[in-house]
Amino acid sequence: MATRRCLTPLRSDAAASRYMSARPAATIARHSRTQPHRNFATPSSNTKSPAHVPPVMISPEYALTPLSPSIGASISSLPLDKPLSSSLISSLRSALLNHNILLFNQREPLTPPQFVSFASQFGQPIEYPFVTGIPNHPEVIEVSKKATDTGSNFGGVWHSDTTYLSDPPMGTLLQALEIPPFGGGDTMFANQYAAYESLSPALKGILDGLKCIQSSAKADTTKTREDRVKDSGKGSGDLEEVHPVVRTHPETGRKALYVNVAHTTRFEGWTEEESRGLLEFLWKMQVRMEFTCRVRWRPGMIAFWDNRCTLHYPLNDYHGYARRMHRITLAGDRPR
């Protein structure tokens, strides 16, 4: 029987002990098999775990817990089936502006009328241009994939919702109704303030003066909704708009990257070939792991995110199981 060769010399117990004690603590933690399980979201960064960040009180009864160092916060036990006080709505809006995403961890899903009522406290719900809403609630669309579906999932690419509109939505609310029983179907989110702020001053100077073409007709995106469009019988034709590459948030005044691989086709005045290299760089860097968090859904959970400074990406890793959500988008303004 052949002797098994070791590629690195074996250490004595004493040497191994010295080696382990000399290793950086972060390295030991990264390879540990006993990392704490996170119920609401899994941060995608190797920086300090949000489990060690204390909750922030937004009222005497309710606290926000950060999801990751870069983006997101969750709130539990907030009753969403009844109107919220004006002071609590104001606090939640401020929290959204600070964290980009809020997760509401409900035990039971809201009914469609309750979902619309909750969303309406933060803005005006609008209809999606390509898919008909559910009966009696045209502003609510069902985002679903059946257990028998083997193709793309709805919106299954990094994007901000409907940036090809003249006034893209300010925010989106997504409620989980049915999720795969063994995991899968998580959603990734990326902070576009952080993406812009990571750029060099020279590149910021170039991008600040550029505009880009946003289109509903990119092939990788249209295939993620073609079955839903065919089933609903609704279609608005191809839509296209020109928006700044770097958007200034109308409420915070901060700058955020406003391109995405789903809808951005080229820079205004440039050909697609001329635009490709810089756009591909931006598409890659704007979703770097340190800018992101990963949300693991549970039935009843609602995510509310700011479309003006956030990208999202629903993972398509649950073939053979169903996933069903309700979505509402809120009216926004023209990017500047």
Q: Give me the active site residues, please.
A: 159, 161, 312, 327
Cα–Cα separations (whole angstroms), residue 46 to 43, 51, 83, 254: 8, 13, 39, 25
Q: Which residue has the tokens 């083997």?
A: 150
Nearest to 286 by CA among 252, 246, 259: 259
Cα–Cα separations (whole angstroms), residue 53 to 6, 49, 68, 69, 274: 42, 7, 9, 9, 44
Q: 158 near 311, Cβ under 8 Å?
A: yes
Q: 321 near 178, Cβ under 8 Å?
A: no
Give helix then strand counts, H and E, for the chain: 9, 18
Nearest to 261 by CA among 288, 279, 275, 244: 279
User: How is 267-310 classified by DSSP, letter by letter?
Assistant: ETTS-HHHHHHHHHHHHHHTT-GGGEEEE---TT-EEEEETTSE
The sign of the CA dihedral 106, 107, 108, 114 is negative
Distance (Å, whole) CA 183 – CA 324: 14
Residue burial 158-173, b: 16+ Cβ < 10 Å; e: rest: bbbbbbbbeebbbbbb
Distance (Å, whole) CA 104 – CA 73: 9
